[in-house]
Structures are given as C-alpha cells and as structure tokens.
Structure 1
Amino acid sequence: MRIKEIFKEYSLLTILFKVFNRFKQKMQMYILKYFLLKYGFKISLKNFSPLLTFFYGSESKEKVKNFYDENPQIQKEVIKSADAVLMHQFYLLGSNLVTLSKKIPWNKDFKSNFVWENIFYKDIVLVDLNNSADVKIPWEVSRFQHFFCLGKAYWITGDAKYFTEMKFQTSDWIDSNPYCFSVNWTCAMDVGIRAVNWIHAYFHFEEPINQDKKFKDKFNQSLYQHGQFIFRNLENGEKLKNNHYLSNLVGLIYLGLYFCAFKENKEHEKWLCFSMKELEKEMFIQNHIDGSNYETSTSYHRLVTELFFFAMLLTEKNKINFTESFRMRLELMHEFLMNITKTNGTSPLIGDVDDGRLLIISDYYGWKKNALNNTLGLAGLYFKRKDFSQYGSAYKEECLWISGLVNYDQDRTLTNGKSISYPDGGLYFLKNKAIYCAIRCGALSLRGKGGHSHNDQLAIELNILGEDFFIDPGVDVYTADYKSRNKFRSTKMHNTVSIDGDEQNDFDEKSLFQMKEQSFAKCLKFNETEFEGEHYGFYKKNGVIHNRKINIKEGVFVLQDEIKGGVGIINFVLCPDVELYFISERIVFLRKNFVELQVHLLNGSYIVIKEDLISLSYGRPLKTKKIEINIKNRNKISFSFQYLS
C-alpha cells in the first residue's frame, strides 16, 4: 500500500499504533528465535488424552462399517484412494498424478524443484516473482487432507498399514519441519488447517495412537505447538480480515477443545475463548445479510462456509453455542451455495480459485473443483431443509462422518429455480427451466480492496439445459507466474466488454492481490426475466460507460451492450468441449451434447474466433476458444441465442 493511501485510510494515531505493534512483534520474534535455538520447545504432554466429544469415535464404527458394506462402490473407491496415499501419489494444485519419494519432500515445490531452506520462519522468503516456485505446493501437501482417506480405509478394513503410514508421515513431518524453522511454519492459515486434519486423524486412529505412547506424546506436543504458533501469528493485520484469519480461528477452536482437559498449561483456554468470540464477530463482518461473502469469490465462499460450519458443529457437540443469529447467517450462506448451483451440479468460478478446503471427506482424488455443494447434504440434515438435502444428495460420506446420519434423499434432479439476486455480493442470476445466466455486477472484494477480485464486471456465465457454453476463465496460478496471474484476472479474459486494452480496474503487475476500485458497477434493473447494469471503469480513461441489458425468454436469450462514447470488443469464453461451427461474420452455431445454440448478431459488428485459455482448477490451464464480437462504427449491439434440445 502506498504512503498516500495509508494516510488516507488511517489516522496518524492509528498508524503510530500499527508501527509500534509491528516493532513489538519483531522484537518478540527475535526473542522467540533466540530461545528456540538455545533451549528448544519444552512442555510436557505425557499421558495426555483429549476428552472432547468428537464427530465420530469407537461407538460409531459399526454404523460406519454397515454404510460402506451397503455401498460397495464407495468402499472400493475409499480403499483405492487410501492405497494411492500409501504410495505417496497426489494431484496437487493442477499437477498430473505425481508419485513423491518415500520420504516426502515437505519443503519442496516439485513442479519447479525449488526447495525452501529450514531457517527461522520470519527469515524465509516465500515469494520471488522472478522464479516459478509456488509456495502453495509444500503448504498444500502439509495440510494432510489425505489423512481422511487413510482413516476411512482403516475403519473399513482394520488393516494396520494405514495407521503405520499415518504415523510415518506425521513423525517424518515433525522431524523435517522443526517448530518455527520451516516454510510450513510461515502461514498460520495452513498451520490451522493441518491441525484440524491431524485432530480428525487422531479420532480415526485413536486406539493404535493410545497404544503407542512415544508417538502419542510427539503428536500431542506438535499439536500444542500448532496452537501456540497460530495464536502468536494471527493473520489479522489488515482492517478487513479474510479466509486466512477464519482458518486461524477454526484451528484454535479445534485445538482449544482438543486440549481442554490439559491442566498443566492454560494457554489453550485463551485460544478457545478468543477464537469463539472472534469467529462470531467475523461471521457478520465477512458475510453479507443476503448470505454472500465479501471476498466475492464463489470458491472462497465454499471454503469459508466449511470453516464456519465445522467449527459450529464441533462446538455444539461440546455444549458451546454460537448465537442464533450466527446460525441463521450460516443457513443463508448455504442458500447462496444452493442457488448458484447449476442443474449439472457445478457452479460458476467467479473471482479467484485456489481449490481451498478445510476437510476433503469424500473423493479425495476426484472431487470437482467447480462443484461447491459438498456441505449442502450435511446442512440439509442440520437445518432440516429438504432443498439443501436434494442439492447435496451426492455427498453421503460427509453426512455419515460428521452427523452420524446419512442423507438418503434419492431425488438428485436439480432445477434452475427462480431468478435471484445477491446485490451485496455483486451477483445476479437470471433463470428459467432451460436457461441459467450468472451476471457479475458489484463492488470489488473486501469492500473495494480487490484481493480476490477479477476485472469481470457485467461478465456472464451461460448454461443451457444443463450444458455450459460461456464460462468464467478461472485462475491459473498466483505467485508462481505473475504474468499468468494478471492475464487471468484481466478484463479481456472475461465474458464482458474490453476497450483499447484498458482494465476496468487498474492493478500493479506485481501487486497480485490488490486492485483499485474504479468500475463502481451498479444494477439498474433486475426482475424474473431482465437485468440491466453498467460500470464506469473506463470512464476516466477514455470516456466510455459500458451498459449491458439481458433478457431471457422461452427459447431465446437476448443480450444487448451499449458502449457509451467508444468502440470495443465483446468477449465470450467457451467451455472447452463446446463444438463451434462458424457460419459467417454474423452467425455462429455452438453445440454441446444434444444442445445447440445459434449466435446471431442482429445489427452492426462481426464475429472473430480466437484461441484462449481457461483453468477449471488452480494450476491447470486448458486450451479453449473464444468468440470476439467487434463493434463496427456503432455504439450498440444485440444478438440472440436460440436452442434446440
């Protein structure tokens, strides 16, 4: 943030307070470094056993075993996945299936072969935009989300090899990542997610862990270190927090409850008390009254929903409750996820996407990154909502492991539902029986900061009869390739109008999570069949205002763009498996499975077909085609879609 912007946003007293706090934190870090190097970490957790009430335990085993016996295909996939984990095979952030060495390289990005040296975490350089290293790779594998696979297979088969692998990986990670001296001790968010997954693993392998006193002590001591690290390194430095801070808080809630019976040290009591209070507060700061999230990313909305939901479910099992208002807002967050789900079970990936999850309970190797409805089955049981259960009916394992019940709703037929708007979240959805059109129109994320936002104002996604035709391009990578990062968040990559290469909202090419609010998009009209909106991102650059009108009818989708004061290009990025038949400069036929669309320009302009890229998950760009509609000597253009099933 530039000096002028700092003084504009904060008072002098606030700035001085922040500077003092920063200095204080640095001094504390140097003292911590000195003591860790000289004395190491000393806290005795011998013979400690957690007493919290968890989602599953020995009393659940018969029910779990019966479920998998009654669902042999799911059982087969669970064991197949667990055996792949035994072989250290992973898909990690866009990679092909990679087999890591017997001793997993915990501090290495295997894509670029870059290794982060084990030094004090505050001295580690995480990002160098001049190389292609991606720190998210070691962070991702060190979240241990693959442990749920091992735990499920252990309960199904009783085979000790799954515990042996869990013990080996955990011990090796602890030895290879000394407390505060590794790249995997640099991001409190990942420390929190790792703690949550280790605690779930404890309750999968409770019996053999309790029989192995030496490993149990080592495991518990590391978990306590996780809590201490998070509490000392809370990601709350900015005025407006995000999913990182929520992950800190949820990690502390899990750890506070896990260590609630530990009497030798009282730090964990502070963790629980603080994180409960803060999570309650953040629910209403980060999530709007309409249920949308202020990071304006549908993928991150799924992550924060998981964070709030699992934390609430665990605390309630232990007789600690959030407020009724918290619960009601969480229900609205699930309504949002339901309402953005298409009839094919996927959702548009608006804004940034890094495939972030808290827990991956089912289909570890094959889960769809653009299917955001994985908590809806569980939410259906909790909130007693049949519509949630229907939209989440495919996710039976989530219900089994977290609630002890199974969502047996057999009706998996999804419908588009009615048109709905989320003005606080800047998303509008025009729907009828056949058409699903998502429209982005609203403020940038974090109330104008633009952290996870893209230049996608008035961009659309179009799905006809369950088939995706025009889609959001998603995200390739973040810091591993800043040029690709900027390409995927640029105006010309989205299904909207670009003008003279200008951006709707300017950003510095190396400030990868900042974007200056200039578009100030607003919805002018919205009802069951119509949308009208405009943005002002080009106005100060070239005097242009972009206005877009959309109308859906039976069998026809009409879109009209008005470029007030200039000329430009309308972009439409195609789903990769859409077949394209170019007929003339004014007519194009698109076909996907049994659905056919005719794109017909009704006035002016002409169509050009170009090659482009999309990424349906982090780090996995795919080739596709893009339709560009060039405006010729006119400021207005209309075209319609007709479909035949």
Structure 2
Amino acid sequence: MLTRYTRLFHTVRYLKPGQIGWRLYYRLLRQRVRRQAMAPLGQAERRRWVDSWSAPTWMPPVLIGKGESNEFEFQFLGERGGLASTEDWNHPGKSKLWLYNLHYLDDLCAQDADERSVEHRALVQRWLDENPPLVGNGWEPYTLSLRLVNLTKWLSGQQWQSGEPVPSPWLASLARQAQALSAQREFHILANHLFANGKALTFVGAFLQGEDAERWLRQGLDILDEQVPEQFLADGAHFERSPMYHAALLWDLADLIHLSECSGLVALRERAAAWRSFLERGLGWLQWMSHPDGEIGFFNDAAFGVAPTLANLDAYAERLGLKIPEPLAATSIVTQGVRYAARHARESGYVAVEWDHGGKAIIDVAPVGPDYQPGHAHADTLSFELSLFGQRVLVNSGTSQYGDDVERHRQRSTAAHNTVVVDNENSSEVWAGFRVARRARPGPVRISVEEGSLTVQGSHDGYRRRPGRVEHRREWCIGDGRLTVADSLRGRFGQAKARFHCHPSVSLSLADPKRGRLTLPSGQKISFSIEGGRAEVETTAWHPRFGVSQENQCLVVHFTHSDCLTRFSWAYS
C-alpha cells in the first residue's frame, strides 16, 4: 500500500496545477459540462472558401467491405471487425483503441477515398443516426477531434464544391460535435491531446460561419498559439519524444498550413509563416531520427502505420513549397576512408551517428518526456538502435497495444530496450498504461573524437532511488567497422543485464559465453565479444505495428563486474 501511494505521489507531483484543477472540474461538475456541450446553437452554415481541400493523404483504406444491408467491415490495428448494428459502435468485445479508430472515420480521407464516396455517405449517415450526443466513445474529446477534422476535410473536398449542398442535418451535427469538444477541451491532459483539440476547433471554425464558428475558431487558435511553441522544441522535436507522435503532429501542422491557403482566412494566414518554420525544423529532426530504410526509430511509443512516414511528409512539404533545413552541425571523423558524423539534438536529447555503407546508430540520452505529461514514455534511457548495410540490426521493442495489462507494461519496460536492467527494475517507474512516477534523469552528454573513433558518452540516475544508489554510465565508441558499448555501474547491485534485441531478420549465435555472431539476411556477419560479463540468448518479441508481434532473438549480457564491454565488429567488402 505504501509503495502504491509513493508511486502515485511521484506521478502527481510533476503535474501542472491546472491539470489537477481541470481533472477535478470534469469529475465533479459533469452536469455543467453536459449543459455546455448541449447549449443552444445557431443555424449551421458553410463558409465560402477560396479553394477546395486537396491535400495529399498518407492513410491506407480501413474500410474493407460494405454489405447490401448497410453493414460495414473495417480493419484497424491488425484486427478486423464489423459494423452491423448500432451496438457495434461501442462493442464490449472490442478494445477501447479499436473503437476509437472506428469513430475517427479515417477512411473519409484515406487513399482512393473518391472511389468509395457512396459508401462514405452511408457511413456518415449511420454515424449521425446511431450516435446520439454525448453517448459512447464517439463523443470523447480526442475521438471528436480526429473525426471533426476528417469530416471537415471531406466536406470541403472537390465533390462538395460543385454546388451540391451539404445536408443541413450534417452541418448541424458538425456544429454539435464542435460544441461538445469545446466543452471538453483536454486541459487536464495537455500535450498531443490538447493540440488535436485545437486543430479540430480551428478546422470547424474555419469551415462554418456565424458566432458559434467564430468562437470555436478563436478557441482553436488560442490553443495552437500556446501549444505549438510549447510542444515543439528548438531542435525541431515534439516534446513527447515519440517519433511516431512527432510525425503525426507534423502532418497536423501541414494540414493547418493548407487550411490557411484553402480558407483564405486572415487569422490563419497570419500564423502560417510560424507554422511553416516549426514544420521545417520538425522534418529535419525526423530525418535523422529515421533509419536508412526511411522509417522511424522505436523510442517511447512508436510503431509503423500509425503516423505518416518521412517520405509522406516530405511530399506534403514539397506540395506546400517548404524547404527542409540543413542538418544540425555534426561532429565528424574519417577513418579507413569512411566518414562518421554525429549530430546531437540538445533540447530533445538524442544523438544520431551516421556513416557510409548504410550505417546508423540512434542513441537515447533524453529525458522521458515533458515532466507533466510523459504518458507515451518508455523506460528506455540510454537505449539505442543500430542499422548496418542499410538494414536494422538492433531494435527496441516497438508498440503493439495500449491499455493497462501485463503486455503493455512489458513493452514499456527497460528490459524491452537495448540498455541495462539493474536488479530487474525499470530505470523509470512506468506504470498503468500511461503513467510514470520517478523517472531517470540523463546526465551531461559528451561527443568526442580521438584515435580514429567517435565516442558518445551519457549517463542516468534512474537506479539511484534503489538502496544501492546505482548510476548507469554508457559509452558508444564507433569507427572503422566496429562499435564498442561500454557500460559502467557505480553503486551496489545484485545483478545487472545489458540487453541487445536483434531485428527478427537477424540470426544470433554464440560460440561461447564470451563470443558470438550476428548474421544479416543479406549474408553480412557481425562478430561480438564481451568483457566483464557472460552472454546468453533469449527469445523475445518485436512489435513493428499495432496488433503485430514478431519473434526475435536477444543477446543478454550478464554483468560479472561493474564494468562491462560489448564489442561488435564487421567488415566492408
């Protein structure tokens, strides 16, 4: 019981006072919130735009079938499900996240959406008929936010610009949904949730006209004016430090810029230059947080298919006439004809080292996230990912689900990442589905060049809360076909393990407890040796997408001394 309350204390102590106040407001004054959500509204009418919505899309179709009796079949998060009856919108047998995706109506703006216009009109009508105000998952603020943007884009598209009127009940529903969101803005959560609220209110306020629309537009822009500079750091990173959410919010910024062009509204055009600046820097950050395969690194909550890729975003940016800034200044060496370059994003806390022949290491020397909202954080401090010959070799766990169960806890754990576990504890106290109590604080980062090697040094104090007060220091030394990972533990501990999770396509074999080899699918071989520890191989799991688990192998190095070195070496041919 004491541990439970201690953990709760160390979670709540980081919150902003406003988060606590708003949480109490929404809990204690629910009827007032409902009255605001159902406040009388004027007649909803469309605003005339200078152009129709015509932005690119990255989302694949999620509507995979429609029956003759108006039944629909969808696939989200690797799981299929049907929409046959009204009850299916809130089906008890489906996860909360799956039902959220059902209510987003993402297919309205998915690839080749024009080919499914008849199905989409039927789907929208079903949502309106079967989801009365403030009932079910579809009326929660985050769900409202994503659906409102999809509806607004869809109703602003070319098919509605030919003079065909949007049905007045649909406009009335759009207004009611906006009012419900206005009454439930997520000031208690903040971060990407509040950003989504602001974007949605801005979209609806720009699409409709009248006093209500002007109010929603002001509310949305007020949120964005505060949250865009709050959430995007000076190095371009989104402050939650999840490459997946970072990519999603960059798309949001691109949407807002395009909205300013389509709507022609002065209030949006005045902000577009600032939004472009944040988007440009953010694209630069995502570029060096991605592997040679063009996909994101797996740090904190991250998976493929949830957010646009770097290529998707680059195409959108080009459409908007943006230029990607030059990369951050690099610390570089050339050895044996190969150039190694390290870039440190100081505000977000990541280091990326790139070299010829498709080599890249992405290193986490970062805080877990903003103190007041680390909900998407993993206990992954001092973890790293490695690509060689253009292929992923060492990978963090990824994310296959949300919720609050054993598997969610495992995927957020230190053991699911390429770092050191001390006495079977997490470096940061991740708990529940989206909570963090005491968290690891990274120490100063040092990048140096000497004797033909580029070295990155970092540390964290996450284990100092334990009786042995252990500090973990790690050094990555890279150069001339080799990587040495030197771990040092200062303090008292019973056991410690360094874990190196291999990509599922990489095979791992041991010659003895001190030596072994990794073999890539294209045949290249990477040898490793260990000092100060002994190795074993475990079967683990990698989660590249929601709903997907792939078996992989993990090199587990048991410390026999407080200092342990793992050396990887390979040859270019």
Corresponding residue for residue 430 of structure 1: 353
User: Residue by residue, what CA displacement relative to the aligned partner does 1:7-57 show, whole Å, maximum 9, x if unpaired?
Assistant: 966899x79966884578434135469x79xxxx77544xx4441234547
Corresponding residue for residue 332 of structure 2: none
Whether the aligned pair in 2 keeps the contact of 1:43 and 1:221 (CA below 8 Å) is no
User: Residue by residue, what CA displacement relative to the aligned partner does 1:323-358 show, whole Å, maximum 9, x if unpaired?
Assistant: 644432221111111222222111212101376xxx
Amino acid in the other structure paired with 2:33: M
User: Which of 364, 380, 383 lines up with 1:440 in the alignment?
Assistant: 364
Whether the aligned pair in 1 keeps the contact of 2:15 and 2:371 (CA below 8 Å) is no
Q: Does 1:486 align with 2:409?
A: yes
Amino acid in the other structure paired with 1:453: A
Whether the aligned pair in 2 keeps the contact of 1:297 and 1:352 (CA below 8 Å) is yes
- Displacement of 1:502 in angstroms is 1.3
Shift of the 182–165 alpha-carbon distance from structure 1 to 2, 3 Å rule, reads same
* 3-state SS in 2 of match to 1:625: strand
Corresponding residue for residue 201 of structure 2: 252
Whether the aligned pair in 1 keeps the contact of 2:63 and 2:74 (CA below 8 Å) is no
Corresponding residue for residue 315 of structure 2: 377
CA distance in 2, matches of 1:230, 1:604: 57
1:120-135 map, 5 Å: 134-135=95-96
- Displacement of 1:312 in angstroms is 2.4
CA distance in 1, matches of 2:27, 2:325: 52
Of the structure 1 ranges 312-321 and 222-231, higher mean CA displacement relative to structure 2 is found in 312-321
Q: Does 1:472 align with 2:396?
A: yes
User: Residue by residue, what CA displacement relative to the aligned partner does 1:60-119 show, whole Å, maximum 9, x if unpaired?
Assistant: 9xxx9xxxxxxxxx9xx99xx598354644331132xx362555865245xxx52xxxxx
CA distance in 1, matches of 2:566, 2:224: 47
User: Residue by residue, what CA displacement relative to the aligned partner does 1:350-370 show, whole Å, maximum 9, x if unpaired?
Assistant: 101376xxxxxxxxxxx5869
Whether the aligned pair in 2 keeps the contact of 1:598 and 1:641 (CA below 8 Å) is yes
Q: Does 1:136 align with 2:97?
A: yes
Whether the aligned pair in 1 keeps the contact of 2:506 and 2:519 (CA below 8 Å) is yes
CA distance in 2, matches of 1:476, 1:202: 33
Corresponding residue for residue 191 of structure 2: 242
5+ residue gaps, structure 1: 65-73, 115-132, 155-161, 356-366, 389-414
CA distance in 1, matches of 2:28, 2:237: 36
Amino acid in the other structure paired with 1:140: N
Shift of the 49–630 alpha-carbon distance from structure 1 to 2, 3 Å rule, reads same
CA distance in 2, matches of 1:427, 1:244: 24
Corresponding residue for residue 76 of structure 2: 92
* 3-state SS in 2 of match to 1:192: helix
- Displacement of 1:553 in angstroms is 0.8
- Displacement of 1:305 in angstroms is 1.2
User: Which of 30, 33, 36 lines up with 1:29 in the alignment?
Assistant: 33
Q: Does 1:202 align with 2:155?
A: yes
Q: Does 1:332 align with 2:281?
A: yes
Tell me the TM-score normalised to structure 2 length. 0.85
Shift of the 306–16 alpha-carbon distance from structure 1 to 2, 3 Å rule, reads closer
Of the structure 1 ranges 306-315 and 243-252, higher mean CA displacement relative to structure 2 is found in 306-315
1:206-355 map, 5 Å: 206-207=159-160, 211=164, 216-238=167-189, 241-260=190-209, 263=210, 266-317=211-262, 318=264, 319=266, 320-322=269-271, 324-353=273-302
- Displacement of 1:582 in angstroms is 2.8
Corresponding residue for residue 472 of structure 2: 546
CA distance in 2, matches of 1:220, 1:516: 44
* 3-state SS in 2 of match to 1:600: strand
Whether the aligned pair in 1 keeps the contact of 2:460 and 2:473 (CA below 8 Å) is yes
Corresponding residue for residue 192 of structure 1: 145
* 3-state SS in 1 of match to 2:271: coil
Amino acid in the other structure paired with 1:217: S
Identity rate, percent: 16
Corresponding residue for residue 52 of structure 1: 49
Shift of the 280–418 alpha-carbon distance from structure 1 to 2, 3 Å rule, reads farther
Shift of the 627–173 alpha-carbon distance from structure 1 to 2, 3 Å rule, reads same
- Displacement of 1:234 in angstroms is 0.2
Q: Does 1:167 align with 2:121?
A: yes
Amino acid in the other structure paired with 2:445: L
* 3-state SS in 2 of match to 1:577: coil
User: Residue by residue, what CA displacement relative to the aligned partner does 1:609-642 show, whole Å, maximum 9, x if unpaired?
Assistant: 1111121112322221111011224533241222
Whether the aligned pair in 2 keeps the contact of 1:442 and 1:521 (CA below 8 Å) is yes
Corresponding residue for residue 180 of structure 1: 134
CA distance in 1, matches of 2:16, 2:245: 31
Q: Does 1:618 align with 2:556?
A: no
1:398-547 map, 5 Å: 418-434=341-357, 435-447=359-371, 449-479=373-403, 481-508=404-431, 511-527=432-448, 529-541=454-466, 542-547=468-473
Whether the aligned pair in 2 keeps the contact of 1:595 and 1:644 (CA below 8 Å) is no
What is the root-mean-square deviation of aligned Cα atoms in Å? 3.4
Whether the aligned pair in 2 keeps the contact of 1:151 and 1:201 (CA below 8 Å) is no
Between Structure 1 and Structure 2, the one with more strand by share is: 2
Corresponding residue for residue 561 of structure 1: 487
CA distance in 2, matches of 1:165, 1:624: 41
Between Structure 1 and Structure 2, the one with more helix by share is: 1
Q: Does 1:608 align with 2:562?
A: no
Shift of the 104–613 alpha-carbon distance from structure 1 to 2, 3 Å rule, reads farther
CA distance in 2, matches of 1:281, 1:11: 15
CA distance in 2, matches of 1:580, 1:573: 10
Shift of the 104–572 alpha-carbon distance from structure 1 to 2, 3 Å rule, reads farther
* 3-state SS in 1 of match to 2:236: coil
- Displacement of 1:291 in angstroms is 0.7
Corresponding residue for residue 406 of structure 1: none
CA distance in 2, matches of 1:578, 1:441: 26
Matched residues, number: 540
CA distance in 1, matches of 2:19, 2:83: 48
5+ residue gaps, structure 2: 327-337
Whether the aligned pair in 2 keeps the contact of 1:55 and 1:314 (CA below 8 Å) is no
Corresponding residue for residue 331 of structure 2: none
- Displacement of 1:603 in angstroms is 2.2
Shift of the 274–644 alpha-carbon distance from structure 1 to 2, 3 Å rule, reads same
Whether the aligned pair in 1 keeps the contact of 2:513 and 2:534 (CA below 8 Å) is yes
